[in-house]
């Protein structure tokens, strides 16, 4: 078979054609996003339209991180939770976290869904979560101290995998062995637990109530010790698990059946994501990623619901970009501006306290997250952090060797991402306090222009805008907030 070669062929031409096609598609998607709200039918066959912008009115809605995590997803989840019957975690473990302030009291949740703060919400820890019971019990204790009644409101999947203390030991050993190439994990045992899950010798929550739990536990610990050579008091932990069994018994159920039955009965579900798109085990900047599916597909595998049941996905995107730990970061600022973002935005990890790396908003990252998650709208958070800057840059595109990469194209290797150069636009800042703004129209003109430019570049409408640290410090666009 002969081969064909064309002197006019170039990688640049391929990228250009792909970029034009994707650009047209996403322009149309943006124009039609309001009219193409998802439709479902109730038991009587009547058509029901769902909002695909605000998150209000949907039967199943999810809030997903659109960058490298720490976008501030908890605030929107907290706001929307008031309008939903059920709040469900579908991935990750105690490696993620967010702090909520209610009536002046701070609650730092790493495992519990945000709906625990509402007295009438059912909360689910799904099968895709890896559960460290001591961490969960500490969080429940904080609710006890605040006199928040959660009896009967927390449902834990019998299919969720258990994080044992040995997993956390191994996490630290592996990071130490990697030295300068360390991933930068939280050392909470998340990766080793998912490894045990994939190796099919892990422990699931449901195993706690089976006669063979002790044998399974010893087999897991023995295998881990043989592999990593560490000392461990297995009997002490096993005794604790016997205590956990009594505490957990009324909370552990088949959440797959429970959640699907609730949806079938007409209940509304808010799926709460941990981590973010660029930390996804498949789609993130591998190997500097987490160990679970953090994107829309993780909802289906982590809760056991079909993709056609998800009405609305809202991407949460910080007005600038941050990441914790090692890994590529094309728009990173290692100067006074980056430090100002860190200081003003209090960019220190909820789980670890580590300082976050800061940089300009990276549009290719947001575009890539939209390709994977199909956002119906975007929540821009922490816009107020930029209020002191005279000039604000947006990273609008990547180039490699002078060739502009198409919309949403993300190099799959560290080497590839390390070779990108960023094209920037410079925008005038607004240099004023925006914390009292409640509508898009209330924002200063330059802030409105900044948000509108993000919409143009991503092809998705901005729905919510974070304007301050307070619980309800959000401006809305195109609808009224309901608190």
Point out the residues that are catalytic. 70, 98
Sole residue written with tokens 């039955």: 261
Q: Are strands 60-65 and 269-272 parallel, antiparallel or unpaired?
A: parallel
Tokens of residue 221, six digits:
């610990």
Q: Cα–chain-centroid distance for residue 349?
A: 14
Both structure tokens of 352: 């670890």
Structural contact between residues 369 and 67, judged by C-beta atoms closer than 8 angstroms? yes
- Structure-block tokens of residue 308: 């056609």
Cα dihedral 229, 193, 67, 332, rounded to 10, equals: -10
Q: Are 209 and 254 in contact (CB under 8 A)?
A: no
Phi, psi of 212 (to 5 degrees): -85, 10
Q: Is the dihedral of CA 235, 240, 244, 247 positive or negative?
A: positive
Question: What distance lies between CA 59 and its chain's CA centroid?
Answer: 20
Beta strands 474-476 and 312-318, pairing class: unpaired
54 and 479 Cβ atoms separated by less than 8 Å: yes
């Amino acid at each position: 078979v002969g081969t064909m070669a064309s002197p006019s062929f170039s990688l640049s031409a391929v990228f250009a054609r792909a970029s034009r096609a994707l650009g047209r598609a996403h322009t149309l998607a943006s124009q039609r996003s309001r009219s193409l709200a998802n439709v479902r039918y109730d038991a009587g066959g009547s058509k029901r339209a769902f909002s695909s912008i605000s998150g209000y009115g949907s039967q199943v809605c999810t809030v997903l991180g659109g960058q490298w995590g720490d976008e501030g997803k908890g605030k929107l989840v907290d706001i929307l939770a008031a309008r939903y019957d059920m709040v469900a975690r579908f991935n990750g473990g105690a490696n993620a976290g967010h702090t909520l302030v209610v009536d002046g009291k701070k609650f730092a949740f790493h495992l519990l869904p945000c709906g625990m703060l509402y007295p009438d919400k059912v909360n689910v820890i799904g099968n895709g979560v890896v559960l460290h019971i001591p961490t969960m019990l500490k969080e429940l204790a904080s609710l006890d101290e605040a006199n928040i009644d959660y009896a009967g409101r927390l449902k834990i999947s019998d299919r969720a995998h258990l994080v044992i203390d040995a997993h956390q030991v191994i996490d630290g050993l592996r990071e130490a062995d990697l030295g300068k190439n360390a991933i930068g994990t939280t050392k909470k045992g998340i990766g080793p637990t998912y490894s045990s899950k994939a190796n099919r010798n892990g422990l699931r929550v449901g195993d706690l109530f089976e006669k063979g739990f002790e044998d399974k536990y010893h087999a897991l610990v023995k295998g881990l010790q043989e592999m990593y050579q560490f000392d461990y008091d297995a009997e002490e932990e096993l005794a604790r698990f016997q205590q956990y069994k009594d505490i957990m018994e009324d909370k552990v159920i088949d959440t797959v059946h429970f959640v699907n039955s609730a949806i079938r009965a007409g209940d509304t579900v808010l799926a709460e994501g941990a981590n973010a798109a660029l930390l996804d085990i498949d789609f993130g900047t591998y190997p500097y990623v987490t160990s679970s599916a953090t994107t829309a597909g993780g909802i289906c595998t982590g809760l056991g619901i079909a993709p056609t049941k998800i009405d609305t996905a809202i991407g949460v995107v910080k007005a600038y970009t941050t990441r914790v730990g090692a890994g590529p970061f094309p728009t990173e600022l290692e100067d006074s501006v980056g430090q100002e973002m860190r200081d003003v935005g209090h960019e220190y990890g909820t789980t670890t306290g580590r300082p976050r790396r800061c940089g300009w908003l990276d549009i290719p990252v947001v575009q890539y997250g939209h390709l994977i998650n199909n956002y119906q709208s975007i929540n821009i958070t922490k816009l107020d952090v930029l209020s002191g800057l005279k000039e604000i840059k947006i990273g609008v595109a990547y180039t490699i060797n002078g060739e502009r990469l198409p919309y949403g194209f993300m190099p799959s290797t560290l080497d590839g991402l390390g070779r990108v150069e960023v094209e920037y636009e410079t925008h005038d800042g607004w240099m004023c306090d925006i914390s009292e703004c409640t509508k898009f129209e209330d924002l200063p003109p330059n802030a409105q222009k900044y948000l509108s430019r993000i919409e143009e570049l991503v092809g998705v409408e901005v729905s919510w805008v974070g304007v301050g640290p307070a619980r309800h410090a959000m401006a809305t666009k195109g609808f009224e907030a309901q608190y």
